[in-house]
A and B are shown apart, each in its own frame.
Chain A
Amino acid sequence: NAGVMQNPRHLVRRRGQEARLRCSPVKGHSHVYWYRQLPEEGLKFMVYLQKENIIDESGMPKERFSAEFPKEGPSILRIQQVVRGDSAAYFCASSLDGRVGGQPQHFGDGTRLSIL
């Protein structure tokens, strides 16, 4: 399966710990998007990255959250000092190009983050 790969599928952390979520896009895709889904809600955009660049982080909380998409390796969404409210499903999507409205975004299976 050459789709978007996210790991881990489930992640449990205690309050105050760090969470790292990984996303490998579809082979050949260089545009990555992260979304968060709270229970009973639709997905909410967090950040859009191209290789080595953050293009739009308008949906990402200003503190404790960061994202990167290095030249080599997967995209990483990092949450520092996690709190209960960070419990959610985090989805990564990728697209072939970033031209506005161009190729559709293909989603991974998500990472379900639970904070104890």
Chain B
Amino acid sequence: AQTVTQSQPEMSVQEAETVTLSCTYDTSESDYYLFWYKQPPSRQMILVIRQEAYKQQNATENRFSVNFQKAAKSFSLKISDSQLGDAAMYFCAYRSAFAGAGSYQLTFGKGTKLSVIP
């Protein structure tokens, strides 16, 4: 079974600065998808960014980018020019690329609570 670990329960960043959230995962599969979701106090789950394991290039979405290290099974999220609206829980998630029982689900880490200091 796959596991996702977020080792930083809480992080803080000054407004306009850059912050990196860590995520590691454990899998024996060679192909899979990785995601970062944001959950603000409203509790809505918002997809931030998505990475396909077979792609070498790191995904980027505006101020959000990832550092995907497949050999190290690491998938960190970098937020540049942090804004007050970035304050939220951030969840890293894994999904298999192979068919089979349990492969449709997203497996989530426990989350990192990000605070943005004005």
Contacts and interface: CB of A to CB of B under 8 A. Distances in A.
Nearest to A59: B105
Contacts of A98: 104
B44 A42 contact: no
B105 A56 contact: yes
Contact of B105 (A42, A45, A109): A45
B104 A42 contact: no
Residue from A48, A59, A101, A108 with most neighbouring chain B CB atoms (10 Å) = A101
Contacts of B97: 100-101
Contacts of B35: 104
B33 interface: yes
B105 A100 contact: no
Given A91-B45, A106-B47, A110-B43, A42 B33 contact: no
Given A43-B108, A91-B45, A107-B44, A56 B32 contact: no
Contacts of A108: 44
B104 A56 contact: yes
B101 A44 contact: no
Interface in A18-60: 33, 35, 40-45, 48, 55-56, 58-59
Contact of A45 (B32, B42, B44, B107): B107
Given A43-B108, A100-B104, 14 more contacts: A42-B110, A42-B111, A44-B108, A56-B105, A59-B105, A93-B45, A100-B96, A101-B52, A101-B96, A106-B47, A107-B45, A108-B44, A109-B44, A110-B44
Interface of A: 33, 35, 40-45, 48, 55-56, 58-59, 89, 91, 93, 98, 100-101, 104-110, 112
